[in-house]
């Protein structure tokens, strides 16, 4: 579950969301949303998955037999696939930047010219499309061959390595002249920046980062043994996920200010800033800079893959369990669908930039539709199902692992799952919809 949670959402999405939505004020709302909304949803999904041993479609069908609720479960699976489509585009950018780091591209042409490389890369049609294809193909092969165990084992090495590398980059970033403005941006909140929209984005970021509302955590939880402590794994996953996001924010934002990049530069933010950091590092020590850059992009790539396989697995499990499809056929079908939508997302930075729907490019639409609406709706659904369709005894049974241990803060948890999370989520959702 940590493999699914920790990925591009932390390193790529969190810093640019912070930059677009007001810095420190956004971070405060994000932390509150994680504690009071995301954690209850995470537990709800864990409980539903382990209780039923099924994915979202099957779980809702089992708990509410004969009703149409299961189709809402199907919608959450479709959301995961929409996310996979544009996630794979960004995964593709990481593939390209990994190759760039291998060919020592960041040390050429001087630090100040490096950030602009990203703009010319994504506006081209072919190269980003090829990279998207490579990333999605890797994801499909891992899921198809069922070698997830291998990649999970691998990520046990790469995640701590990623942690160390971010700390190295953070320390270096803080040493750059002009970086203190970035720190101020992250720690001095301007509360006038908090609007319903900010709250919706912070909530969306928190859900995205913890892979919530799309049935992924539910699907993974359907394989958890009865003796596992759900509360502990929920808190552990949320804490490490939040830790990675904060570290990435503090590593990137000081350098953003040092390089004179606008914090609201959007999805390209880290792909403009990190090469700048590596180029600057290279002026002092080319070898260290090259090693840090190569390892950094490699570890990002692995953490992105452990997330993308969880999205594809959610859809593949559904087709296997409910439609009786063979694994490879399911993988092939979903590959084709997500590749096509992903290709449109990729082209929306270049030839399709003018295609706007509700004022958004195709990429922006997929991102906003999922993080701000579908994940929120899914989160609401799962808290209602866990909180109201299961009895209190069922909840106690799950949260105590069948009486194996005393459930921590049981009443507070149930209160959050039953009342606070659904009420707050639906209020923000509706307000945001009207805005
Ligand atoms: N949580 C992942 C990340 O932060 O990169 C993204 C993600 C994975 C979203 C799985 C949704 C999902 F089902």
- Ligand 1 pocket member 399 (CB < 6 A): no
- Ligand 1 pocket member 5 (CB < 6 A): yes
Nearest CA to ligand 1 atom 9: 211
pLDDT of 435 strictly over 80: no
pLDDT of 385 strictly over 80: yes
pLDDT of 148 strictly over 80: no
Nearest CA to ligand 1 atom 11: 211
- Pocket-testing residue among 1, 2, 3, 5, ligand 1, by greatest number of atoms within 8 A of Cβ: 5
Over its C-alpha atoms, the chain yields an Rg (Å, rounded) of: 21
- Ligand 1 pocket member 308 (CB < 6 A): no
* The predicted structure's pLDDT at residue 149: 79
Ligand 1 closest atom vs CA 314 = 13
Q: C-alpha angle 383/396/6, rounded to 5°? A: 50
| Residue 108 pLDDT grade (very low, low, confident, very high; cuts 50, 70, 90) | confident
Ligand 1 closest atom vs CA 307 = 8
- Ligand 1 pocket member 131 (CB < 6 A): no
* Per-residue pLDDT tens over the stretch 301-313: 999 999 999 999 9
Residue 203: name the closest of 54, 408, 37, 430 by CA. Answer: 37
H or E element in which residue 210 lies: none
Domain 2-434 has what CATH class? mainly alpha
Q: Distance, CA 76 to ligand 1 centroid (Å)?
A: 13
* Per-residue pLDDT tens over the stretch 242-269: 999 999 999 999 999 999 999 999 999 9
What is the average pLDDT value for the chain, to the nearest integer? Answer: 95
* The predicted structure's pLDDT at residue 433: 84
Q: Distance, CA 207 to ligand 1 centroid (Å)?
A: 8
| Share above pLDDT 90 across residues of the chain, in percent, rounded to a whole number | 92
- Ligand 1 pocket member 310 (CB < 6 A): yes
* The predicted structure's pLDDT at residue 434: 84
* The predicted structure's pLDDT at residue 186: 97
Average pLDDT over residues 298-302: 94
Q: Which residues contact 228 (CB under 8 A, 6 or more apart)?
A: 50, 401
Average pLDDT over residues 44-73: 97
- Ligand 1 pocket member 422 (CB < 6 A): no
pLDDT of 1 strictly over 80: yes
- Ligand 1 pocket member 212 (CB < 6 A): no
Q: Which residues contact 127 (CB under 8 A, 6 or more apart)?
A: 96, 121
Angstrom distance (rounded) from CA 80 to CA 70: 16
- Ligand 1 pocket member 86 (CB < 6 A): no
- Ligand 1 pocket member 10 (CB < 6 A): yes
Domain limits, the chain: 2-434
Average pLDDT over residues 369-397: 97
Average pLDDT over residues 5-15: 97
At 401, is the secondary structure helix, strand, or coil? coil
* Per-residue pLDDT tens over the stretch 175-230: 999 999 999 999 999 999 899 999 999 999 999 999 999 999 999 999 999 999 99
DSSP string covering 339-378: HHHHHHHHHTTTTTTT--BTTB-HHHHHHHIIIIIIHHHH
Angstrom distance (rounded) from CA 435 to CA 430: 9
Ligand 1 closest atom vs CA 10 = 4
- Ligand 1 pocket member 8 (CB < 6 A): yes
pLDDT of 156 strictly over 90: no
Nearest CA to ligand 1 atom 10: 211
């Amino acid at each position: 579950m940590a493999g699914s949670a920790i990925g591009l959402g932390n390193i790529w999405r969190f810093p640019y969301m912070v930059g677009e939505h007001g810095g420190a004020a956004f971070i405060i709302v994000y932390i509150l949303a994680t504690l009071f909304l995301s954690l209850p949803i995470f537990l709800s999904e864990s409980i539903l998955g382990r209780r039923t041993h099924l994915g979202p479609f099957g779980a809702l069908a089992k708990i509410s037999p004969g009703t149409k609720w299961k189709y809402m479960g199907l919608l959450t699976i479709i959301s995961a696939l929409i996310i996979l489509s544009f996630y794979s585009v960004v995964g593709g950018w990481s593939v390209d930047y990994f190759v760039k780091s291998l060919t020592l591209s960041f040390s050429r042409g001087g630090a100040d010219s490096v950030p602009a490389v990203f703009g010319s890369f994504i506006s081209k049609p072919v190269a980003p499309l090829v990279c998207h294809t490579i990333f999605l193909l890797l994801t499909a092969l891992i899921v198809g061959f069922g070698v997830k165990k291998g990649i999970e084992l691998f990520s046990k090495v790469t995640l701590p390595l990623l942690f160390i590398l971010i700390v190295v980059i953070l320390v270096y970033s803080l040493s750059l002249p002009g970086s203190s403005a970035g720190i101020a941006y992250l720690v001095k909140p301007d509360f006038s920046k908090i609007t319903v929209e900010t709250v919706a984005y912070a909530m969306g970021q928190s859900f995205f980062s913890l892979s919530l509302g799309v049935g992924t955590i539910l699907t993974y939880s359907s394989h958890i043994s009865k003796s596992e402590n759900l509360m502990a794994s929920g808190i552990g996953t949320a804490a490490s996920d939040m830790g990675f996001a904060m570290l990435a924010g503090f590593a990137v934002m000081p350098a953003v200010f040092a390089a004179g990049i606008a914090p609201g530069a959007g999805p390209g933010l880290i792909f403009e800033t990190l090469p700048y950091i590596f180029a600057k590092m290279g002026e002092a020590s080319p070898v260290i800079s090259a090693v840090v850059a190569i390892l950094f992009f490699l570890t990002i790539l692995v953490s992105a893959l452990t997330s993308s396989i969880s999205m594809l697995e959610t859809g593949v499990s559904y087709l296997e369990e409910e439609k009786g499809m063979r694994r490879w056929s399911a993988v092939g079908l979903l590959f084709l669908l997500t590749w096509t939508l992903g290709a449109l997302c990729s082209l929306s930075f270049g030839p399709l930039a003018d295609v706007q729907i509700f004022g958004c490019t195709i990429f922006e639409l997929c991102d906003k539709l999922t993080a701000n609406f579908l994940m929120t709706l899914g989160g609401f659904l799962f808290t209602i199902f866990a909180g109201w369709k299961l009895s209190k005894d069922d909840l106690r049974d799950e949260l105590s692992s069948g009486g194996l241990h005393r459930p921590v803060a049981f009443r507070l948890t149930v209160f959050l799952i039953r009342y606070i999370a659904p009420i707050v989520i639906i209020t923000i959702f509706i307000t945001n919809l009207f805005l």
